Amino acid sequence: MAFDFFMKGRAPEAPKDRLPPGQYLTKGWPVLHYGDVPRVQLSTWTFRVWGLVARPQEWTYEQFLALGHAAVTCDIHCVTRWSKFDNTFEGVPFRKVLEAVQPLPDARFVMVHAEHGFTTNVPLADLDRDDVLFAHKHNGAELTPEHGWPLRLVVPHLYFWKSAKWVRGLEFRAEDAPGFWESYGYHMRGDPWQEQRYWGD
Ligand SMILES: Nc1nc2c(c(=O)[nH]1)N[C@H]1C(S)=C(S)[C@@H](COP(=O)(O)O)O[C@H]1N2
Ligand SMILES: [Mo]
């Protein structure tokens, strides 16, 4: 009886339908990446798109942000098992970039390129969604450099390593190939609900 009352009096910390298997909820926002935080100069920053697209591009930061604006509220799930609920990211919808570059019919995968040579591979179908965006804001404030300023990818429905910080370009491809973490054994797709953490999951 007492236990029952105790349980009912508590807001459920992490409802099962919101927390993927093997994850725990965190309130803070851990910083996680390989290597150093890059010192980015906006004056020389460009965003390049190449490979299987009808219209390859090279944008300045100003031109890139002018492609569009949207806000997406989502939960994020790191493969190291922390999840963070209720993040509002703001920036350029991925689909605005798709409209501008016009992928060719053979394009089925994207290699995302970031500062210091970081890469991550994502199926195009996982990027061609309303909730995928290139963010420069989180919960109303500019991203800090540690979290990816001036621009990071946000792919809410995949493990967070696919959400490359400090993105600088996209390469559209016919074949899949492992990016940085993927070449160390992380999953080629990385769906947290299917626990696609490593090769063979
Ligand atoms: N450029 C770059 N982006 C990256 C990484 C990285 O090593 N380099 N790590 C990824 C991993 S493993 C995670 S969990 C998230 C962490 O983002 P955060 O530091 O904002 O929480 O960034 C992802 N993006
Ligand atoms: Mo991660």
**Number of structural domains, the chain?**
1
Return the number of other C-beta atoms located less than 10 Å from residue 31's C-beta: 12
Q: Look at residue 9 and tell me if it is in a domain.
A: no
Strands 70-77 and 82-93: antiparallel
pLDDT score, position 13 = 60
Residue 52 is part of a domain; what is its CATH number?
Answer: 3.90.420.10
C-alpha distance from residue 16 to each of 8, 20, 22, 144, 173 (Å): 16, 7, 11, 31, 36
How does pLDDT run across 69-128, given as a tens digit for each residue? 999 999 999 999 999 999 999 999 999 999 999 999 999 999 999 999 999 999 999 999
Vertex 180 angle, CA 176 and 184, to 5°: 95
How does pLDDT run across 25-65, given as a tens digit for each residue? 998 999 999 999 999 999 999 999 999 999 999 999 999 99
Pocket test for ligand 1, best of 31, 74, 160 (most atoms within 8 A of CB): 160
Strands 167-173 and 46-51: parallel
Q: Look at residue 120 and tell me if it is in a domain.
A: yes
Q: Is the CB of 163 under 6 A from ligand 1?
A: yes
- Paired tokens of 10: 């508590």
How does pLDDT run across 135-168, given as a tens digit for each residue? 999 999 999 999 999 999 999 999 999 999 999 9
Nearest CA to ligand 1 atom 21: 31
- Tell me how far the alpha carbon of residue 1 lies from the centroid of ligand 2, in angstroms: 41
| Domain residue limits at 132 | 19-35+46-194
Q: Look at residue 67 and tell me if it is in a domain.
A: yes
